[in-house]
Amino acid sequence: MGNATLSRYLGFLKTPPLWVKNQFGLEQFSFPELDLDSLETEDIPRGIRLGHQMEFVFKQCILQSKKYELLVYNVPIREGGKTLGEIDFILKDRLRKQYFHVELTFKFYIINPENSEPIHRLMGPNRRDMFFTKLDKIREEQLSLLSTTQGKALLETHKLDTVEILPRVCFKAQLFIPYGTEKVHIRPLNKACVAGYWIRFDAFKSQEFRNSLYYIPFKHEWPVKPVNDVSWMSYYEVLLEVNIRMIKEQAPMLWRKKSDTEFEKFFVVWW
């Protein structure tokens, strides 16, 4: 396993759950302890979206876990020609003989303090991916799939139709606070999820950013902690690249190198 692949696994594993235990009527999955030194992994497929890449990492970790047995992975539930959704995982706790339906979510949210409620403050950097709508989708659509006729047929196929299957989420997220903000109140969400900041393009053009080096990570690198061994650009080089994305109404993630040992991770937003 190369360093790039390892860093992506670590990016997944070290990203905290967005909340602890039970919140919003959703209980977090108890992720097993893993020995990272002996973790054997396959290369992560590139030609799939980031969410499916993270599902692949989750699967590889579960396969090497002594605690859980993987029973069902990424099975679509269809009605006629329409896909109702997918069952991410059904797992069995080997020791406790418990069964879990786990839906995995891995998100990057900026925190917009203009909204009063914490669940309404979290949104994707392009303001399209809202946390509260994702919560509704998980509760009302994803976790209810096993109750459909097609879901029950899947359980029968795997001889799971007579056991209790407990719903769980593995909802991990990296949060980005407004630039220059020291404290953001996000209870009951997990403050450990804060990974960086976000800034508007006009503010990024200020003097204080001009003496650093920058890198625009590919989407599959977004979960990763910034590292030194990338092709850094000067401020003026990255400014041109960011400007193009602003015109396209795309908010890029940037890594900032302030010194050989000091790095930052942030989004530049177009709105």
Taking only the tens place, the pLDDT of each residue in 216-232 is 999 999 999 999 999 99
The CA R_g of the chain, rounded to the nearest whole Å, is: 20
Listed residue (107, 84, 125) closest to 242, CA to CA: 125
Name the band, by pLDDT with cuts 50, 70 and 90, for residue 1. very low
Out of 32-46, 105-119, 220-234, 249-263, least confident range: 32-46
What does the block give as tokens for 170? 């593995």
Rounded to whole angstroms, the Cα distance separating 156 from 149 reads: 11
Least confident of 79-83, 90-94, 102-106: 79-83
How far is C-alpha 198 from the geometric centre of its chain's CA atoms? 17
Q: How many CB atoms lie within 10 A of CB 118?
A: 16
120-174 pLDDT tens trace: 999 999 999 999 999 999 999 999 999 999 999 999 999 999 999 999 999 999 9
236-260, pLDDT tens digit by residue? 999 999 999 999 999 999 999 999 9
Q: How far is CA 127 from the centre of its chain?
A: 16
Region 39-46: what's the mean pLDDT?
87
C-alpha span between 161 and 121 (Å, rounded): 40
Read off the pLDDT of each residue in 51-76 and give the average, rounded to a whole number: 96
- Angstrom CA distances, 91 to 51, 58, 80, stand at 19, 12, 27
For tokens 């007579």, what's the residue? 162
Residue 2 confidence class, pLDDT cut points 50, 70, 90? low
| 88 alpha carbon, distance to own chain's centre | 14
Q: Given this model, what pLDDT does residue 81 score?
A: 84
pLDDT at 42: 87
Question: In the block, which residue shows the tokens 């991990």?
Answer: 172
Domain layout of the chain by residue ranges:
3-175, 190-269
**Average pLDDT of every residue of the chain:** 95
| Residue type, position 68, single letter | Y
C-alpha to C-alpha distance for 27 and 60, rounded to whole angstroms: 22
